[in-house]
Amino acid sequence: MTEDTDRVAVDARDPAEVFGLLAAEARVDVLRALADHPQDAVSFSGLFAAVDAVRDSGNFSYHLEKLRGAFVREADGGYALTHAGRQVVGAIHAGSYTADAAVDPVDVGWHCQRCGGRMTVAYADGAASMECRDCGSGARIPLPPATVDQVDRSAFPEAAAAWYHQRVRRTLDGFCADCTGRIDAELVSAPTADGPSLAEFSCPRCGRTATLSGTTIATFHPVVEGFLVEHGFDTTAHHPSQIWPELDDTAVSVRSRDPIALTVRFEHGGEAVSVDVAPDASVETVDRSPVE
Ligand SMILES: [Zn+2]
Ligand SMILES: [Zn+2]
């Protein structure tokens, strides 16, 4: 056996084969029954009693055996979910594969950064959209349908903003919001008269790409979030573009054009916070100080 200290061992199996293991009602019921007891192992007899789809214990062991390894592990004389098993049950609850939902556009009373038009928040086809009614610019954020079911129409814009916040947080922390792979990031354009600066985030593994403005990257830095919260602005409940016009000043300057590097400065209530965004879209330095 060779030892390779630089790499983490990952046992990759054929996805079609692994997902095929779930193609029986009894097996999905086993995962749900285990998820009902997240802290404890469940005994064979307890599990057999909880699953109605199969009434013969020999047949039941056959199904359980199929799940063992990928989705179910043995623990404390019984059975428990593996991480993958918990993810499958989570996806069932989120309705990612099985549900559908829609929310008609809600007028959220904030103005488009590009044209000053009215912004709306809506949900369709598995994604929340924050969109300008007049020029169509905005953002589209994948969101599981069963999460949408849990909020009222009036609370939906705030829930969508919170979800946006957690997707952006994950992207800025360097993980693909879809597949959890490591992400590559780069500032690709400086601000122009027509639009904001842009950074591109791409996942080499699943191919997902996302763009964020330099101002958004700066807004989500913990020091800036603290500054904003202390001045009464909650970035988890509002899209950043809702907050910027409310501040005394928000400005972006270009520190370098090749490669692109930016400084974003927010000012409010006699204080300013200045954020240097590097060419790789990371935050280099943050400085918070009173305005002279
Ligand atoms: Zn617009
Ligand atoms: Zn990915």
Which of 152, 142, 111 shows the shortest CA–CA distance to 239?
111
Q: Domains in the chain and their CATH numbers?
A: 15-94 (1.10.10.10), 103-290 (no CATH)
DSSP state of 257: E
Beta strands in the chain (DSSP E): 72-75, 78-81, 103-111, 118-124, 127-132, 138-142, 184-189, 198-202, 209-212, 249-257, 260-268, 271-277, 283-290
pLDDT 10s digits, 83-133: 889 988 888 887 777 777 888 999 888 888 888 899 999 998 889 999 999
**Better-predicted residue by pLDDT, 250 or 144:** 250
Ligand 2 is an ion; residues with CB less than 5 A from it: 176, 178-179, 181, 203, 205-206, 208
Region 130-151: what's the mean pLDDT? 86
% of the chain beyond a pLDDT of 90: 58
- Kindly tell me if the per-residue pLDDT of 8 is higher than 80: no
Task: Please report the pLDDT score of residue 251 as a whole number.
Answer: 96
Task: Please report the pLDDT score of residue 77 as a whole number.
Answer: 85
- Alpha helix locations (H) across 173-262? 214-219, 222-230, 240-243
Instruction: Give Cα 234 distance to the centre of its chain.
Output: 18
Q: How far is the CA of 59 from the centre of ligand 2 (A)?
A: 38
Q: How far is the CA of 118 from the centre of ligand 1 (A)?
A: 7
**Better-predicted residue by pLDDT, 77 or 233:** 233
Helix axes 57-67, 25-35, angle to 10 degrees: 70
Q: How far is the CA of 54 from the centre of ligand 1 (A)?
A: 56
Region 71-75: what's the mean pLDDT? 92
Ligand 1 is an ion; residues with CB less than 5 A from it: 112, 114-115, 117, 132, 134-135
Task: Please report the pLDDT score of residue 12 as a whole number.
Answer: 72
If you average pLDDT over every residue of the chain, what do you get? Answer: 90
Which of 184, 237, 192, 183 shows the shortest CA–CA distance to 213?
192
With residue 35 as reference, give the H or E element that holds it: helix 25-35
d(CA 94, CA 92): 5
Q: In which band, very low, low, confident or very high, does the pLDDT at 6 lie, cut at 50, 70 and 90?
A: low
Region 55-71: what's the mean pLDDT? 92
Q: How far is the CA of 111 from the centre of ligand 1 (A)?
A: 8
Ligand nearest to the CA of residue 207, numbered in listed order: 2
Task: Please report the pLDDT score of residue 5 as a whole number.
Answer: 57
Instruction: Report which listed range, 5-19, 85-99, 153-167, is most confident.
Output: 153-167
What is the dihedral sign for C-alpha 10, 11, 12, 17? negative
Strand partners, 233: none
- Kindly tell me if the per-residue pLDDT of 177 is higher than 70: yes
Are 195 and 212 a contacting pair, CB within 8 Å? no
**Better-predicted residue by pLDDT, 147 or 163:** 163
Among 1-15, 82-96, 172-186, 236-250, which is the least confidently predicted range?
A: 1-15
